Amino acid sequence: MAINPDAESPESLAERLRLTLAVSGAAGAWEWNLSTNLISGDARFASMYNISAAQAVAGIAPATFVSIIHPHDQTRIRLAIGGVLRGAEVFSKEFRVNLADGSLRWLHARGRREAADSTHFNGVLVDVTEQKKVEERLRVAQTAGEVGTFEYIDGFGTATVSDQFCRLLGLHPATDLPVRSINALVHPDDTPIILGERNSGSMSEGRVEFRITRPDTQEVRWLTRKGEYVSDSDSKARRYSGVIYDITHSKLIEKKLLLLNETLEERVRERTLERDDIWRLSRDLLGIADARGVWTSVSPAWTRTLGWQQSELEGRTSHWLEDPAEKSHIEEMFTKTAFLHRLRTKDGSYRSLSWTIVPKEGLFYCVARDVTEELENARSLVEAEEQLRQSHKMEAIGQLTGGIAHDFNNLLTGITASLSLIQRRLKSGKLEDLDNFINAATTSARRAAALTHSMLAFSRRQSLDIKGQQINEILVGFEDMLRRSVSENIKLTMSLSADVWPALTDANQLANAILNLVINSRDALADGGEISVETFNVSLDANAAKSFKGMHAGDYVRICVSDTGSGMPAEVIGKAFDPFFTTKPIGQGTGLGLSMIYGFAKQCGGHVDIQSMVGRGTEVSLYLPRAALSEKIPATPAAASPVSRGRTETVLVVEDDPTVRLIITEVLDELGYKAIVAGDAHGALPHLKSNQPIHLLVTDVGLPQINGRELAEMARVYRPSLKVLFITGYTEKATIREDFLSPGMDLLTKPFELDALGAKIRELIDGDR
Amino acid sequence: MTNRSVDEITDDRKLSDIERDALTEIANIGVSRAASSLRKMVDRQVLLSVPSVEVVTHQSAADLIGQRETDDLVAVTQAFSGAFDGRALLIFPQKNGIELTRAVLGADVSPDQISSMVEEALAETGNVILNGCVGTMANMLNQPLSMSLPTIKRGTGQELFTVQCSPPEQGLVLFFFINFAVEGRDIRGYIAMLMDVPSLAALKVLIGEFIARVMHDDLGNTGLTPAE
């Protein structure tokens, strides 16, 4: 480069050159004279060192050459200079310099010795700042973006590569690499990174993904290559400019996602399997039915429980499995969520199933549990309880039998002993005082009759003659007997309200009940005390009635028997009305007392209430409903009334027991009636059909073949106004006589007093007079 | 230049940046002398330069070459002993070796002649280069060094480096990348100096002395002072 120092001042020239060169980036020339050890240069060189062109031509010392070099690069350049001074032939270094204007530039100094013995080192100095910046940007971009670049010209054996390219492949950094070395890293199944060597084809300009095995770590990585062919102006060969980058992470995520998807399916499958297991293994019968109750699907438990195959069950309702005798439950599926029904098994037996139905989206999801065993267990429990009760009953009957035997033996002893004595007296002709024995026998027989009556009352099979009665009159007529039944150390008080209403009851049974209560009180007063019998009216409103089970609001006559005795604990009161319950030892009581009274009170439409405290005495109240009729009713005489005599009326007697028949005939004859007798209905009917006058039919109810009730109906066909008197030991159907007896009929219970028979006959025959 | 293999080497065996720069310059002086000798020998333009130096393990050296060269390699090898002991290898891809021989011998030699002369020519060329390089290094470091006669080895990088030294796991390789420019042809090659750890440590000391000389003597010897 020619320099003309005369054209203008060196300063302005240098400045101009500097500016020109700064923008042109042109190279400066330099020469190193090793013999003088001076480095001279051209204008560009001068401008860099801020010296005049003349100075530059004259040369500067290496120390000055080094002085503007950036401190970081100085050592390196000084070492290189040392190399040159000691024989190195090539100098090629890049370094930074701080220029006089304060700017930092990158320079590339390149030079070489002309010959080994030459003392001159010629070179150029190029400003590579922009190139460096671009390179730096590219390097940063490659490093930061982890993008490696490469260039490949078709047919060549090597490719030009960047450091980052090498790093991505796990290779030692290099500027050129053999294509075979590069492709050798790629997985055999994948596309090679570079194609084109030895006509191996062209590279795609799109994205290509491939795996490599890094030679440094043996790690497998996923990379992507992308690039394009560029036609170089100076060559016909195609140049491929490409980039590679790592996509292992994305691939990993992709794989994880795939795996997640797969495991999701797996999990869903597992869950489905679990549900399938429930469906398959459940002991309960599971099923899905459509809106008509047709099974669309049933679980294997159906087959296990009922024996029918799935194919037999699906596609229809289970109506065909229902017991024809029972109501169909198919309807219940639509209306109920839970019910019980039975389905037939293949062997013809039935299983009881407890159903739970959940309707959803037009389908019925059904679960049935086989409760056959549970139900059978419950049934056998009931049976066992029944058996237990039965055994208690047998035990009680044992107690009762003991009690009855004791009572009856006493009574029979009284009767047989009296009869023996009468017989002996008659034989010996001693007829005085016979009445005493006869009375004793009669009393015993009556007591026996009362005892059987009690038993019937207990069994509620006694026929009660319930009608309006004057309670006070019954009690007064009974007072003597009560007083006799208590001992001297007991004071019995009767406090009867004068205005007590008439009440519905059976006079004999009421007397019996009160006697029983008094005797119970007497037994509780072993050391003496007081017993009081009271009557008064009570009106129970609905609330008060509620406190007595099964009692209605209304007016009642209350008969109260209380004592100052030992009383009863609560648990004894609870059982006091149980049949056969007794606190007395076996043989001393039947335990029928209170339960009999309870049954009697209930039959009358009343109630019994018991209040007791240990050591404070007991109070038993008998509530009898007030009778509708208000007029005074004469009490049924407890004692025998004068015997009514017949007036030759004709009475037809039908009785299968010859003894009873004989006695009745004797009585009728004695009373002046004309008696016709028959052993059964067949014997009686001809008489009834005949024209002979018959004023009264006296018939046993319990006749063979045609019973007394039927006979009476037949008799009424021929003789509509015929009076009928039934005689019965007990009659199941005649518990309440009003249900049994038509007008003009009456009932007499065995055993009966002859006088009572006479009175009834008279009463009936005279009835319509 | 970052190199994983260098990173693996423990600190006391690692060259610092300055040491590597200095060693590169020493190698450059060496190959320059070798080039000069070659020029005289063959009367052709021969340029040699060393752009960079690495200290790596044997395995890394084998990898380095293996990655760059897929062809079989040919190596001229000579043992050296003195201040530091070891074995030097001049390595070319086989094809380049023949090319170098041809360049050195001249275009007027027929291919038949070349193939019969290849071994001999290579050994001679290698001897010049290695002597120049290794000998100069000893010279620069002011140490005496003697070298054995050259032999030729062929094989992969792996074979060259594992056969040459034992025990390989303890040895290190001073690895020079060399650019040859003969008659306008560019040929790449490598010089590898296989040394044990004590020899490398000795080399480091010597390099330090070289640096000190250059940094303190050169500019001073010129009698010049740094610019203001």
Residue B215: list chain A partners with CB under 8 A: 75, 78-79
User: What pLDDT does residue A558 have?
Assistant: 92
Cβ-defined contact of A82 to B5 (cutoff 8 Å):
no
CA distance B81 to chain A (A): 23
Mean pLDDT value of segment A444-471: 71
CA distance B178 to chain A (A): 12
* Residue B163 pLDDT grade (very low, low, confident, very high; cuts 50, 70, 90): low
- Kindly give, in sequence order, each residue whose CB lies less than 8 Å from that of residue A125, ignoring residues fewer than 6 positions away: A27, A28, A29, A30, A41, A44, A45, A48, A107, A108, A109
Tell me if chain A has a CB within 8 Å of the CB of B35: yes
Mean pLDDT value of segment A322-326: 82
Give A60's DSSP letter: B
User: What pLDDT does residue A586 have?
Assistant: 45
User: What pLDDT does residue A275 have?
Assistant: 82
Tell me if chain A has a CB within 8 Å of the CB of B96: no
Residue A112: list chain B partners with CB under 8 A: 47
Q: Which of A374-383, A625-634, A635-644, B62-71 has the lowest mean pLDDT?
A: A635-644
User: What pLDDT does residue B223 have?
Assistant: 36
Cβ-defined contact of A181 to B226 (cutoff 8 Å):
no
CA distance B227 to chain A (A): 4
Number of domains, chain B:
1
User: β-strand A120-127 against A104-113: which pairing, if any?
Assistant: antiparallel
Residue B60: list chain A partners with CB under 8 A: 172
- Kindly give, in sequence order, each residue whose CB lies less than 8 Å from that of residue B13, ignoring residues fewer than 6 positions away: B55, B172, B197, B200, B201
Instruction: Report the residue from B29, B69, B140 with minimal CB separation from A178.
Output: B69
Question: What are the tens digits of pLDDT across the range A182-207?
Answer: 888 899 898 888 887 665 667 777 78
* Residue A532 pLDDT grade (very low, low, confident, very high; cuts 50, 70, 90): very high
Checking if the pLDDT of A85 tops 60, the result is yes
Complete edge-to-edge strand list for the sheet that includes strand A696-700:
A674-678, A650-654, A696-700, A723-728, A745-749
Tell me if chain A has a CB within 8 Å of the CB of B103: no
Instruction: Report the residue from A63, A112, A172 with minimal CB separation from B64.
Output: A172
DSSP A281-331: H-SSEEEEE-TTS-EEEE-THHHHHH---HHHHTTS-SGGGB-TTSPP-HH
CATH number, domain of B18, equals 3.40.1550.10
What is residue A629's three-state secondary structure?
Answer: coil
Question: What are the tens digits of pLDDT across the range B74-96?
Answer: 889 999 888 778 888 888 888 77
Domain presence at residue B199: yes
Tracing tokens 């019968």 back to the chain, one arrives at A285
Q: What is the C-alpha separation between A234 and B3, in angstroms, rounded? A: 36
What is the token pair recorded at A377? 């267990």
Tracing tokens 């700042």 back to the chain, one arrives at A129
Which residues on neighbouring strands pair with residue A246, listed in sequence order?
A223
Question: What are the tens digits of pLDDT across the range A149-188?
Answer: 898 888 777 888 888 888 888 888 888 888 888 888 899 8
Nearest CA in chain A to B61: A172
Cβ-defined contact of A178 to B224 (cutoff 8 Å):
no
Checking if the pLDDT of A5 tops 80, the result is no
Mean pLDDT value of segment A52-70: 84
Give the DSSP H or E segment for A287: strand A285-289
Domain presence at residue B216: yes
Checking if the pLDDT of A750 tops 90, the result is no
Domain presence at residue B228: no
Instruction: Report the residue from B5, B67, B218 with minimal CB separation from A181.
Output: B67
Mean residue pLDDT across chain A: 79
Tracing tokens 């019980």 back to the chain, one arrives at A340
User: What pLDDT does residue A560 have?
Assistant: 92
Residue A60: list chain B partners with CB under 8 A: 227
Q: Which domain holds residue B181?
A: 6-222
User: What pLDDT does residue A139 have?
Assistant: 80
Q: What is the C-alpha separation between B190 and B170, in angstroms, rounded? A: 21
**Best residue of A89, A95, A160, A198 to probe chain B, by most B CBs closer than 10 Å:** A89
Q: What is the C-alpha separation between B164 and B159, in angstroms, rounded? A: 8
CA distance A249 to chain B (A): 23
* Residue B5 pLDDT grade (very low, low, confident, very high; cuts 50, 70, 90): very low
User: What pLDDT does residue A630 have?
Assistant: 46
Cβ-defined contact of B29 to A87 (cutoff 8 Å):
yes
Question: What are the tens digits of pLDDT across the range A547-562?
Answer: 776 778 889 999 999 9
Mean residue pLDDT across chain B: 76
The per-type count for chain B, helices as H runs and strands as E runs, is: 9, 7
User: What pLDDT does residue A36 have?
Assistant: 82
Domain presence at residue B36: yes
Checking if the pLDDT of A616 tops 60, the result is yes
Cβ-defined contact of B218 to A81 (cutoff 8 Å):
yes
Checking if the pLDDT of B3 tops 50, the result is no
User: What pLDDT does residue A23 have?
Assistant: 46
Domain presence at residue B86: yes
* Residue A100 pLDDT grade (very low, low, confident, very high; cuts 50, 70, 90): confident
Checking if the pLDDT of B7 tops 50, the result is no
DSSP B92-133: EEHHHHHHHHHHHH-TTS-HHHHHHHHHHHHHHHHHHHHIII
Give the DSSP H or E segment for A168: helix A163-169
Nearest CA in chain A to B215: A78
- Report the first-to-last Cα separation within chain A, whole angstroms: 180
CA distance A141 to chain B (A): 17
Give B184's DSSP letter: T
Q: How far is CA A583 from the centre of its chain?
A: 47
Domain presence at residue B227: no
Q: What is the C-alpha separation between B61 and A691, in angstroms, rounded? A: 156
User: What pLDDT does residue B67 have?
Assistant: 78
CA distance A72 to chain B (A): 11
Residue B6: list chain A partners with CB under 8 A: none
What is residue A730's three-state secondary structure?
Answer: coil
Question: What are the tens digits of pLDDT across the range A358-368?
Answer: 888 888 888 98
More confident residue, A569 or B9: A569
Checking if the pLDDT of A574 tops 70, the result is no
User: What pLDDT does residue A462 have?
Assistant: 55
User: What pLDDT does residue A458 have?
Assistant: 53
Tell me if chain A has a CB within 8 Å of the CB of B213: yes
Checking if the pLDDT of B57 tops 70, the result is yes
- pLDDT > 70: percent of chain A: 83
What is residue A242's three-state secondary structure?
Answer: strand
Complete edge-to-edge strand list for the sheet that includes strand A238-246:
A176-178, A158-161, A147-153, A238-246, A220-231, A208-213
Question: What are the tens digits of pLDDT across the range A420-439?
Answer: 888 888 888 888 778 878 88
Domain presence at residue B137: yes
Q: Which of A291-305, A521-535, B29-43 has the lowest mean pLDDT?
A: B29-43
What is the token pair recorded at A715? 């008799």
Cβ-defined contact of B67 to A171 (cutoff 8 Å):
yes
Question: What are the tens digits of pLDDT across the range A708-748?
Answer: 888 888 888 888 888 899 887 765 544 555 566 778 888 88
Question: What are the tens digits of pLDDT across the range A650-691?
Answer: 899 998 877 778 878 888 888 888 889 898 888 898 998 888
Q: What are the phi and psi torsion angles at A676 (to 5°)?
A: -110, 135
Q: Is the dihedral of CA A139, A140, A143, A149 positive or negative?
A: negative
Mean pLDDT value of segment A219-247: 82
User: What pLDDT does residue A132 have?
Assistant: 84
In a 13 Å sphere around the CA of A169, the CA atoms on its Cβ side amount to 29
* Residue B193 pLDDT grade (very low, low, confident, very high; cuts 50, 70, 90): confident
**Alpha-carbon distances, residue B139 vs B30, B102, B145 (angstroms):** 9, 31, 8
